[in-house]
């Protein structure tokens, strides 16, 4: 009877340990993803700020800069969509290869 209680405690401890390992691993991935997204947003905000010669001194300036930033983001996505569409329309077959020699 005593051995079965200890065995039950060991099983419960192992289950909790495994669950915590899985949760912490997922949390680490989410934290890393959030860090990468934060760095990308800050780099793009800095790039747009430097290239647009904006000054942010009032709340109105912040909203104006937000409009410039989201316009820039929209143009990046539009350019990426155009690039992808052009790549999809290309003939990527082997028969299209240039023969040499």
Domain range enclosing 38: 1-53
Banded model confidence at residue 97, pLDDT cuts 50, 70, 90: low
Give me the DSSP letters along 37-89. HHHHHHHHHHHHHHHHT----SHHHHHHHHHHHHHHHHHHHHHHHHHHHHHHH
Q: What is the pLDDT of residues 13-66, one digit of tens each?
A: 889 888 888 888 888 888 888 889 999 989 998 888 888 888 888 999 989 999
Predicted model pTM? 0.61
- Please check whether residue 101 lies inside any domain of the structure: no
Does 43 share its domain with 61?
Answer: no
Q: What is the pLDDT of residues 67-89, one digit of tens each?
A: 999 999 999 999 999 999 998 88
- Please check whether residue 21 lies inside any domain of the structure: yes
Does 62 share its domain with 30?
Answer: no
Q: What is the SS3 assignment for 5?
A: helix
Does 67 share its domain with 78?
Answer: yes
- Please check whether residue 61 lies inside any domain of the structure: yes
**DSSP state letter for 90:** S
Does 79 share its domain with 37?
Answer: no
Does 47 share its domain with 5?
Answer: yes
Does 25 share its domain with 72?
Answer: no
């Amino acid at each position: 009877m005593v051995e079965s209680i200890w065995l039950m405690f060991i099983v419960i401890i192992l289950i909790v340990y495994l669950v915590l390992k899985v949760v912490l691993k997922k949390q680490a991935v989410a934290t890393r993803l959030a860090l990468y997204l934060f760095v990308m947003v800050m780099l793009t905000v800095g790039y747009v700020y430097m290239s647009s010669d904006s000054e942010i001194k009032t709340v109105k300036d912040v909203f104006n800069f937000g409009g410039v930033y989201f316009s820039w983001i929209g143009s990046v996505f539009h350019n990426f969509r155009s690039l992808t569409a052009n790549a999809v329309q290309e003939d990527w077959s082997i028969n299209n290869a240039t023969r040499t020699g």
